[in-house]
Chain A
Amino acid sequence: MRTDNVKRWARMAQKPLMLAALIVLMAFLAPGVFLSRSNIASILMAVCIYGLMVCGTIFPLLNGGIDLSIGSVGALAGSICVLVTLRYNSSVGGTVLGIACGLAAGILCGIFNGFISYQFAVPAFIVTLASKNIIYGIAQNITGMNTILSLDSKVMNWIGTGKIAGVNFTILFFLFIVVATYFLLNHTKFGRYTYAVGGNAKSARFSGVKVNLIGISAYAISGFTAALTGIVLSCFNRQAVATQCSGYDGDVLVALVVGGVSLAGGEGTIQGAAFGILLMGILNNAMVLLGVNSIYQDLLKGVIVIIAVALDMYVKNKGNGLSRNIWNRARRSAVNS
């Protein structure tokens, strides 16, 4: 029992420790710069935009699905938001309507993904890979492949760059969404059902859980946060373009997986995912600060992701004999000979 507790603590503390180690290391390698207020703000700004996506996309993953369409949804929602806003001459009401339309589009995209995936039992990977193209296509059409500037909407500009008590609104908003996701996952029936469906959909159904409804809602949430990301990005850049957010899906999945969310469903926490986001953000920042040549940055990032995930799986499986541990094997064959 005691060793179990120690193990549990070790597992829980593992990610904060990794993060702390990285921070201490960087504080020594880049003294004065890394821990400066402006650098911390720039790290947070860099992660908080796609971090919004992570908070929603964790839901389909916990259900045992995946959402690859989030980048396109971000592009579509940003474009719709800017187009509607411009149509109403960037008035406050017009901007609010634009944001609402963008979010609605995101939710609809999510419902579409979820509906196809659950009602026709199509693997989520395929559905969202295809819908990624469909949604990107729509975004291209409505923008005519132009970059659409939106310089005059006060609301949008404030969302992009406004500050509350000296902290960027975007960062605060991200923190708020993380807390809201934590609450949704841990303190609502919906959260309980999400873990149940991901753990074993069949027995969840046998317990009277509406599996399809939970599943489709998860995609709707994922679409919603993807749209939020797209809109916030458009506010920040003061423009919308069909290619915005492209590549975010990869970053989001990396942050989730590094944060310990299982691709098989049923396992993972938003706290873990938040650590994943921060870890990747600090890593990117560190490579820039240390002057790592940009041709090595992607390579290094990939290697670090693999090390982080392999380590996580190793610790997780050590106790249950699932680990294919080379040391163990070597020891066994030594005994045998």
Chain B
Amino acid sequence: MNTLLQMIGIEKSFSGVKVLKGVDFTVGEGEIHGLMGENGAGKSTLIKILTGVYPGNSGVIRMNGKEIFINSRSDAMANGISVIYQELSLIPTLTVMENIFLGQELTFGKVFLKKKEMHRRAEQLIEKCRFDIKPDDLVETLCVAKRQTVEIMKSLLLNAKLIIMDEPTASLNAAESENLFKIIRNLKSQGTSIVYISHRLEEIYAMVDRLTILRDGAVVGVLPREQIDPVTVVRMMIGKCLDCAEHTVHDAASEAAVLEVTNLCSETLLDHVSFRAYGGQILGIGGLVGSGRSEVLRSIFGLDHYTEGSIRYNGEALPRSAREVSRYGIGLVPEDRRNEGLIPLLNIVENMALPNYDQLYETAFVSGKRERQLGMRGIESLSIRPGDPNIRCINLSGGNQQKVVISKWLQRKDLKVLLVDEPTAGIDVGAKAEIYEIMRRLANQGCIVIVVTSDVEELIKIADQILIMVDGKVFQQMRNENLTQDDILLAASRIKRKEPDHAN
């Protein structure tokens, strides 16, 4: 395999702190190269240097053996390097064709657009890659997975030789991810190289030819495909062996609190959902994206309207507005923490205090002192870093942001139920373990914890009871004892291992 990209001895410091300490990184032609590491290991910095967002302090970048200098995104593109970011950079109100040609329109005399020609080229490209879209589709009508394919087309049109994908499956469901993998393999077969960044180990095993692992700004290993296995990778990433202790199932005490959901129906999706969650236990809800998991949480929290059914806490019906439910002692940690969980411009203290003003101050006036105490308590108990309460949440890492969102609710004196949607999406291994511990601690205090997650490994690891949803219905509820990932995945695809043809 010929070497396409070579990065040698890349170093980078931010205000005196070395974040990259002489990183070497090579990608071969037509190779799918994985890049893994905890948050803060230096993955994004490396990619940003490669794409001209930051200048590197020292080091050499070579493409096909020739040294290149990348000082801006357009330099990177000119050298055949393109990135597909987590936040897609498409313009929703334009069509697919307009988007892929944006900034590189075909023109007569630099002024008038060659619309027919562009349309034809777009069609060719779609056909060649076997994408399921049309050039005239409006981007805002496309789902996330299809938008991603538009991004990929945009790169291909620039004759990208190297496409960098940063967590491309973060917002895709299983089928969409599978489709993306097909596209990636197809690109590979046409000689395009891919740098694939992901936190999801199983994707890395399935996809990559080689894997580079970063820790604390240095390369700790480059593994060829056959040497990649979960234990090695995790150990290299975090520098220690994760405690793979046997999971113990916690049973609810007989006098434990109970949240009872009965025959919950919504206009569009939920179909007679019933279950019980007990204090002292963590109830995990699994299933595919779109199976109604988040909607159940949102209904409990009073955000989504439900047409039928009831939700009771110890026999008492819950109110139906987010404000009243939250004042009742139920907290929601939403999936999209940046848009729904936090106020990014406000600092840690102000975010934590937000749902708790009714308990902090009896009157309409606030003094600041109690807010601060509450903030410091939250920072200490969840070891949020950096521990400066005046830092704006936008400047925290994903894991610490998540801790702030959870901590908002932990500060409520009367917290009865915590609903958590995708607790660890985009969060590094170390912070994950801390968040699991926080949830377990909360359950041990007698709270009801309900967790929705797409990560099967996580589901098995943390839940005492597991509920699988399919198409807005509860497909199966199981006690998390001797369950394997297979059992969960099969159930999510409507197959019950024990009673094969009994469908709800």
**A204 near B323 (CB under 8 angstroms)?**
no
The interface on chain B, measured as residues whose beta carbon lies within 8 A of the other chain's beta carbons, has a size of 35
**B346 and chain A: residue at smallest CB distance:** A199
Within 8 Å by CB of B364, from A188, A196, A199, A202, lies A188
Contact string against A for B residues 301-313, beta-carbon threshold 8 Å, 1 for contact and 0 otherwise = 1010000000000
Task: Provide the residues of chain B in CB contact with A192, threshold 8 Å.
Answer: 350, 353-354, 357, 366
With A332-B72, A335-B71 known as contacts, the answer to whether A189 contacts B345 (CB < 8 A) is: no
Task: Provide the residues of chain B in CB contact with A207, threshold 8 Å.
Answer: 326, 354-355, 408
Task: Provide the residues of chain A in CB contact with B112, threshold 8 Å.
Answer: none
**Measured between alpha carbons, how far is A336 from B366 in the docked complex, in Å?**
54
Report if A141 contacts B (CB, 8 A): no
Min CB–CB distance A326 → chain B (angstroms): 13
**Measured between alpha carbons, how far is A192 from B368 in the docked complex, in Å?**
11
Segment of B100-108, B332-340, B438-446, B489-497 engaged in the interface with chain A: B332-340
**A206 near B334 (CB under 8 angstroms)?**
yes
Report if A208 contacts B (CB, 8 A): yes
Report if B158 contacts A (CB, 8 A): no
Report if B327 contacts A (CB, 8 A): yes
Report if B5 contacts A (CB, 8 A): no
Task: Provide the residues of chain B in CB contact with A333, threshold 8 Å.
Answer: 71
**A202 near B340 (CB under 8 angstroms)?**
yes
**A335 near B364 (CB under 8 angstroms)?**
no
Task: Provide the residues of chain A in CB contact with B323, threshold 8 Å.
Answer: 208-210
**B361 near A189 (CB under 8 angstroms)?**
yes
The interface on chain A, measured as residues whose beta carbon lies within 8 A of the other chain's beta carbons, has a size of 27
With A187-B366, A202-B339 known as contacts, the answer to whether A195 contacts B55 (CB < 8 A) is: no
In the complex, the number of residue pairs spanning A and B with C-beta atoms less than 8 Å apart equals 88
**B354 near A204 (CB under 8 angstroms)?**
yes
**Measured between alpha carbons, how far is A230 from B440 in the docked complex, in Å?**
60
Report if B69 contacts A (CB, 8 A): yes
Report if A36 contacts B (CB, 8 A): no
Task: Provide the residues of chain A in CB contact with B365, threshold 8 Å.
Answer: 187-189
Report if B190 contacts A (CB, 8 A): no
Q: Can you show 21 pairs from A to B with CB atoms below 8 A apart?
A: A187-B366, A187-B367, A188-B364, A188-B365, A189-B364, A192-B357, A195-B345, A195-B350, A199-B343, A199-B344, A199-B346, A200-B344, A202-B339, A206-B301, A207-B326, A208-B323, A266-B345, A266-B346, A333-B71, A335-B55, A336-B69
A residues with a Cβ closer than 8 A to B are 3, 187-193, 195-196, 199-200, 202-210, 266-267, 332-333, 335-336
B residues with a Cβ closer than 8 A to A are 15, 55, 69, 71-72, 75, 301, 303, 322-323, 325-327, 332, 334, 339-346, 350, 353-355, 357, 361, 364-368, 408
